[in-house]
Structure 1
Amino acid sequence: MSPTPAQEAVTVRTFAQRFSATRRGARLARRLAVHQLDQWGHPYGTPLSETVALIVAELAANAVLHGRVPGRDFELRLHHRDGTVRIEVSDTHPAHPKLPAQDPTAEGGRGLLLVAAVADCWGVHGRVGPGKMVWAECAVPPPTVE
């Protein structure tokens, strides 16, 4: 009988917080996301921190502007695992967001285009209970050696 191979340890870090569906809640979500990344060893102002800040800002703003249901909050979750940061924003509105048509005269609707441009991948899923969860993933760059 051959020995079973040892499994590699996996570190999963998770942050989850609910916010009021207001502009202040969206701003706080962005600020806490970059603070959490800093706590996980990705300092403020690094490319990863800036990218996650942009994604959280856009998804939280969408949750507040388009996904708001009176009396309901939105939720931010960050997962840091295996060289990837996954951002999830959930709200209770049933409508799923879509990429806008390429209309240069449109006054809005570019937020998801920004998310699609800076994230490695993104999508939308239903969730348990009402609403949906919009997610995006970013690769974590390898540490620099000085």
Structure 2
Amino acid sequence: MHMSKSYQHLSAEERAMLQIETGRGQSVRAISRLLGRSPSTLSRELARQDSSTYCARSAGKRYRARRQLSVRQRRLTPGTPLFQLVRDHLVLWRWSPQQIAAKLSHMYPDDPAQRVSHETIYASIYAHPRGGLKKELVQALRQHKPKRGLR
């Protein structure tokens, strides 16, 4: 196998092989040649362990947990009070996203979690799947464009 140039996460099979080969006392370099991986990739994987013996199953669980934590949470999720406030100002009171963002800054000067920029509001509107809610929100904008152009 040849070493790939772009980084790819270790698969469950590679972790299992790493566990078997480290259990046999193989060196990191020997295992890296066997798997076709960089020795530094395997060294980092082994360094993440909290015990002296490598366990592929627990390493996989920790990997999935880290991936889950790395997903960025959306600021405007339907059903949240902040989304409802933004929706009401857009639809009922016909405010622009700029006006809503400014109002939120005045309403919550000390709580950044309750403030969103006008760009976040636009992104939230256009990120909705096609359907009634998206149509309602786009119609509430002053310029009813079904798609947003590139900037």
TM over 0.5: no
Bin for the TM-score computed over the shorter chain: under 0.3
Tell me the TM-score normalised to structure 2 length.
Answer: 0.26
TM score, norm. by length of structure 1:
0.26
**Larger helix percent:** 2
The structure having more radius of gyration, on CA atoms, is: 2
Q: Which has the higher contact order (CA 8 A, sep 6+)?
A: 1
Name whichever structure is richer in strand by fraction.
Answer: 1
